[in-house]
């Protein structure tokens, strides 16, 4: 609908931006930190490793001061599990614990609410070696113990915790490298149970709010064909509801459960698992959004053929067949490029209407407050000779998505805040530092650390003005 007038943003709206430990901290082996699976993973040729990143570990005070200058009222960042417990299940590292106390205290000094992600892709490598990581039920107990340390240490200072970042992306794209779909969905189930148990323990140990943090988006059918519409419904269960129905309603989505059962992929459920999911009551939903998905129906036969081509494409630089296979669920749907959606130079969607739709769908289904924890424009930036960085494309991106937030609020959605990716440039998982999202430029590239100086981009000043006006001035 087209609104004739828009409601203002709430006076307590949380304005900020996000980061993750392994992509910004650096100091990968300092002060007792153990290696994560990101530290030991192969580095994509031509991109940076995780050893220094944005050097946020050493320069967090400078970075938080810049966030305060922009007017942030929240900063979403992650704690590195292997910095707190280096081997994942052994002794607690006091230097790691102390570091995050310092980061939190620095935020609070400026009136910035820390929003802490407990797990952002950086499993302690020792647990991967010891028992296969999330494929083992032991990872549930080890994760919950780690979370309890965080709740006890930081729960009196922190209002908002997030459990697991983008669990759906880890599962859908098999980031654990599991041998088959049964293992993939078993590991996913262990994450769901771990998330539920951590949510329960948070409520028992502190007064903070806690939420899941998947990557959620509306799903469009490619055409008006009935099977494409059915595919969109089914894909929504795979992409979104599998990760939210379980924590919010305590059950797996119905149709997708049947899909897994018929293919022998439904996970083994231990006694007490579903009871834990039913007892875990998240206080809000955090989610990342980068453009709506688009799918079309694919038969089981054609889907299996696409998967076979994907396996054959591995190691042969055949990215077209590889990506089609990755986006295919045989007999359900295949992800496709939406011909009506704008894209960035890296092929990510620019779809503010999709954000409004996603907000509406989440609010109407779950009736929980919502917090956008990622949304951003990742493209190369140019540092000019005069030391400036002009990024009108990022300003345009943020403007239309913030307007979509206001439209959703006018629709009746309870939106707590907007925390785009990212506060400052960091190392992207697949494209290195060249794919920049920040409003603060980090002076380094993938081959040369230079001085890692912090430089305010044009978007820094634009976002500063937007926050100061509480979203009224987006000019």
Residues noted as catalytic: 166, 374
Instruction: Give the helix/strand (H/E) hosting 7.
Output: none
Q: Which phi-psi region, left, alpha or beta, contains residue 301 (left: φ > 0; alpha: ψ -120 to 50)?
A: alpha
CB atoms within 10 A of CB 165: 25
**Cβ distance 295 to 228 under 8 Å?**
yes
Pairing label, strands 113-119, 74-78: parallel
β-bridge partners, 242: none
The DSSP string of 407-474 is HHHHHT--EEEE--B-SB---BTTTBTTSB--SEEES--SS--TT--EEE-HHHHHHHHHHHTTTS--
Q: Which residues of 15-25 are buried (b: 16+ CB within 10 A; e: fewer)?
A: bbbbbbbbbbb
Cα–Cα distance for residue pair 17/438, rounded to 1 Å: 9
Q: What are phi and psi of 114, to 5 degrees?
A: -75, 130
Q: Which residues of 241-273 are buried (b: 16+ CB within 10 A; e: fewer)?
A: bbbbbbbbebebbeebeebbeebeebbeeeeeb
Tokens representing residue 40 in the block: 């030991």
Tokens representing residue 333 in the block: 């749907």
DSSP 268: P
* Residue count (the chain): 475
């Amino acid at each position: 609908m087209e609104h004739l007038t828009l409601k203002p943003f709430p006076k307590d709206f949380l304005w900020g931006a996000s980061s993750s430990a392994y992509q910004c901290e650096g100091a990968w082996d300092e002060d007792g930190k153990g290696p994560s699976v990101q530290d030991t993973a192969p580095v994509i040729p031509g991109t940076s490793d995780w050893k220094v990143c944005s050097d946020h570990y050493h320069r967090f005070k400078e970075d938080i001061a810049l966030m305060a200058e922009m007017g942030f009222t929240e900063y979403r960042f992650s704690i590195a599990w292997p910095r707190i417990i280096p081997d994942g299940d052994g002794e607690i590292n006091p230097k790691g614990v102390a570091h995050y106390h310092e980061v939190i205290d620095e935020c609070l000094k400026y009136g910035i609410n820390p929003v802490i992600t407990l797990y952002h892709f950086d499993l302690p490598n020792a647990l991967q070696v010891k028992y296969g990581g999330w494929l083992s039920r032991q990872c549930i107990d080890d994760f919950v113990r780690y979370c309890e340390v965080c709740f006890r240490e930081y729960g009196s200072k922190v209002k908002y915790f997030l459990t697991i970042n983008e669990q759906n992306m880890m599962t859908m794209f098999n980031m654990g490298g599991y041998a088959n779909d049964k293992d993939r969905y078993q590991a996913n189930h262990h994450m769901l149970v771990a998330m539920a148990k951590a949510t329960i323990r948070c409520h028992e140990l502190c007064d903070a709010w806690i939420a899941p943090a998947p990557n959620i988006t509306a799903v469009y059918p490619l055409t008006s064909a009935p099977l494409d519409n059915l595919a969109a419904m089914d894909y929504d269960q795979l992409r979104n509801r599998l990760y939210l129905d379980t924590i919010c309603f305590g059950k797996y989505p119905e149709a997708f459960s049947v899909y897994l059962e018929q293919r022998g992929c439904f996970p083994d459920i231990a006694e007490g698992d579903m009871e834990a999911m039913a007892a875990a009551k998240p206080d809000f939903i955090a989610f990342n959004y980068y453009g709506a998905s688009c799918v079309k129906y694919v038969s089981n036969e054609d889907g299996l053929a696409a998967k076979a081509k994907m396996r054959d494409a591995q190691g042969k630089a055949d990215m077209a067949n590889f990506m089609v296979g990755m986006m295919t669920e045989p007999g359900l749907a295949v992800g496709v490029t939406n011909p009506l959606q704008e894209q960035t130079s890296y092929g990510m969607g620019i779809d503010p209407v999709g954000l409004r739709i996603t907000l509406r769908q989440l609010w109407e289904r779950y009736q929980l407050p919502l917090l956008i924890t990622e949304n951003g424009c990742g493209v190369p930036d140019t540092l000019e000779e005069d030391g400036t960085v002009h990024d009108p494309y990022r300003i345009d991106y943020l403007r239309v998505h913030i307007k979509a937030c206001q439209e959703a609020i006018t629709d009746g959605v309870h939106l707590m805040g907007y925390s785009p990716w990212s506060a400052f440039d960091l190392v992207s998982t697949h494209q290195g530092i060249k794919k920049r999202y920040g409003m603060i430029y980090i002076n380094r590239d993938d081959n040369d650390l230079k001085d890692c100086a912090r430089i305010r981009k044009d978007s820094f000043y634009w976002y500063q003005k937007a926050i100061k006006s509480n979203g009224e001035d987006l000019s």
